[in-house]
Amino acid sequence: MNRPQIPSFIHNWRKGQNAFDWAALALAGCFFALWAGILSYKYFSLGYYDWDLALYSQALWNLCHGRFYSSLFDMNFLGNHAEYISFLLVPIYTIFQHPLTLIYLKVLSFSIGGYILYHLARQICSPVLSLIVMILYLTFPANSYTLFYEFHIESLNVAFLFLLFYFFKREKLLPFYGTALLTALIKENMPPIIAAFGIYALFTRRNKIRWGLIPIITSVGLFYFSMFIITPKLRSLEGLHSPNQYLTFYATLGEGPFEIMKAFVFHPQRIFHLLFDEERLNYLKEFLQPLAFTPLLSPQILFLALPVLLQQLLSSAFQSHTIFYHYAATLVPFFFLAALQTLHRLKKDSRIFLLAFIAVVLCALSNIVMYKDSLLKRYAYIQNPLRSIEWKMIKQIPVQAGTIASLNFLSPLSHKQSLHSFLGFINGYHAISGKPFKLSDDISYALIDFSDNWITNKIIYDQDQQAIARMQAFLNLGWRIRAIAGTTVLLERSPSPDFNLVERSQTPMELPPAGLPPIVINKNLEFLACRIGKPISPYGDTLVPLTFYWKSDSSSLPTYGLQIVLKKNGQEVLAASKLIGYSFSPTIMWHAGEYIKETYYLCPGELAEGPYEVELMFVQYIHQASYFVNCPLMESALDCKEGRIKLGSVVLSR
């Protein structure tokens, strides 16, 4: 039996034998620091607007306290995925109890993976070319999207997959076993990859038992144990009848895992129909084209990723066929390894090798340029002028208080035993368990952004009146406003509620004494007046109270929105958008003849002191698109230019 040995790249690093090794290590460190900084900024800007980081942060925090149940999962979290490596993460999370710990672990795995790839490249090309390969990997757009998206435990596998391949190529059996075990514990879709290594070894290794049969038998056993015993048992204890909720993604192939497997034998046309779908072919192209299609010349390496590749390509979930989520993290290493193997085969002819390498570099650089603007937009998207106030709201919530919140607030609040998603409430069910949503009695605080995209999309595009009704029922439970800025509100349960951001009446309301001439929009909505209040600073941040007065002339209004603009010396310096009536009382719910008054607190952010002009633009949402209402569609005595109406002015002071 092979004795465990220190990997050569660690040995070289310790001895400092090669300056390029140090350069590669420094490069890995720089990318770790870069992404740790970017993602820390995203976190503190409250830019994690999906589920995963909050889900896993709460699950790890609960594990640190000996609990398997997590309120965001609404069940034992292992009933969702077989992520047994979570138990090995508990000591780390116990010491560093913060959601960013998980983010840093993800970035660390990515950075170490790039460093291991460098040493794998060193075995076939010069140190300079190996550094170039490493840089191409570290800047690969699919990796950037994985990092910038939410956290998922599967994304921790990058370093393990590279290390697994390294030990396999160097025939280091015990290190390979150890790495294979850790990899298999990450998620239920990792053991099939270990089995693929074992199958590959049956054709490439002399000792077929140690390298082939043992990995195949143990990985298949762990997969069966997870998918057919542990996960179904945990789900049945929760009253869930499906053994795995993700099997529904493969319903076109059959009901249940055995029916799905039979489809490969008896209905291969279904498989080919899905695999050669345009969307899935484009997904494969995202990996192949940036590497000049060289991975196709090393199918034996791509075979190692086949289980996960089929898992993603055969899924009906569109997220599995795009690089914009975390799913590409598992596949990218194998495409780079296949490209390296192809280059190794071409090395016999130095000219062909060099031409192929140049082609890979040019294609990869072209791919980076193609996605540059998209990635920069994602970074710009997390700019949050309300972050200072919203963090103050978060800190006002007692540590032990049961809380319900919009998705972007869940991560900072995840170290709570009772934490729920407001989106789950308005959907009427828990997203992970699928069980009907019941608001527990211990929920005493709510932190909600009524302009959250998950919510507004349900109003604008789906016109989901059930969701609106649930929001209104929620607000009628009795809440007191503790803090408010923009469309974000911190609420506390109270026997004397004061939530009245929108008031509706069948009789005219008293308007400001110096109001504007009314504006009739599209002959069905009247803007009667706006009161610009004196700026206030209740939390140390300036807010400008704006009170809008409306009249509905129709019982079938479309969805309307506002864009409030501040200008300084004729230049636009701030634009804030909101739905008219907020998402809980949008215009589609108004009746003919109703008068509506709504209050909004504009946050100027870091704008300097002084006078500013206030302008208003109206937005109409039709057929999955938004349009600014042009001047000809507005009947008013006011001057209108490019759809903008001047409301007045405000003087900001600190």
- 493, 520, 538 - which closes a domain: 493
The CATH number of residue 549's host domain is 2.70.50
Res. 16: pLDDT tops 60: no
Does residue 400 form part of some domain?
Answer: yes
What average pLDDT does range 603-617 have in this prediction?
89
Q: Which helix (H) or strand (E) holds 270?
A: helix 268-275
Check residue 9 and give its pLDDT.
53
- 134 and 237 co-located in one domain: yes
Please name every residue paired with 612 in a beta bridge, in sequence order, or none if there are none. Answer: 650
Does residue 11 form part of some domain?
Answer: no
What average pLDDT does range 135-152 have in this prediction?
96
Does residue 465 form part of some domain?
Answer: yes
Does residue 59 form part of some domain?
Answer: no
How does pLDDT run across 453-504, given as a tens digit for each residue? 899 988 888 888 999 999 999 999 999 999 999 999 999 999 988 899 999 9
Look at the block and give the residue holding tokens 């409250």.
46
Check residue 463 and give its pLDDT.
86
Check residue 526 and give its pLDDT.
92
CA gap 136, 78 in Å, rounded: 36
- Residues sharing a CB contact under 8 Å with residue 249, sequence separation 6 or more, in sequence order: 315, 316, 317, 320
CA gap 336, 280 in Å, rounded: 19
- 227 and 189 co-located in one domain: yes
Check residue 4 and give its pLDDT.
52
Check residue 26 and give its pLDDT.
96
- 127 and 156 co-located in one domain: yes
Does residue 250 form part of some domain?
Answer: no
- 282 and 361 co-located in one domain: yes
Please name every residue paired with 548 in a beta bridge, in sequence order, or none if there are none. Answer: 530, 598
- 234 and 295 co-located in one domain: yes
What average pLDDT does range 540-555 have in this prediction?
91
Q: State the residue range of the domain holding 429.
A: 387-493
What would you measure as the largest C-alpha separation in the chain, in angstroms? Answer: 92
What average pLDDT does range 247-256 have in this prediction?
84
- 493, 522, 551 - which closes a domain: 493
How does pLDDT run across 356-387, given as a tens digit for each residue? 999 999 999 999 999 999 999 988 888 888 89
- 574 and 510 co-located in one domain: yes
Does residue 7 form part of some domain?
Answer: no
Does residue 462 form part of some domain?
Answer: yes
**Residue 50: count of CB within 10 angstroms of its CB:** 17
- 234 and 331 co-located in one domain: yes
- 486 and 518 co-located in one domain: no
Cβ contact 520:421 at 8 Å = no
Check residue 352 and give its pLDDT.
94
Check residue 559 and give its pLDDT.
92
Helices 332-346, 278-288: axis angle to 10 degrees equals: 60
If one counts the domains in the chain, the total is 3
- 375 and 429 co-located in one domain: no
Does residue 157 form part of some domain?
Answer: yes
- 354, 381, 408 - which closes a domain: 381
Tokens describing residue 298 = 């090393």
C-alpha angle 371-373-375 in degrees, rounded to nearest 5: 70
Return the amino acid letter for 445: Y
Provide the percentage of residues in the chain whose pLDDT is more than 90: 73
- 359 and 398 co-located in one domain: no
Q: Name the average pLDDT for the chain.
A: 91
- 222 and 353 co-located in one domain: yes
Res. 3: pLDDT tops 60: no
How does pLDDT run across 51-83, given as a tens digit for each residue? 899 999 999 999 999 999 999 999 999 999 999
- 600 and 467 co-located in one domain: no
Res. 13: pLDDT tops 50: no
What average pLDDT does range 238-261 have in this prediction?
83
Check residue 8 and give its pLDDT.
59
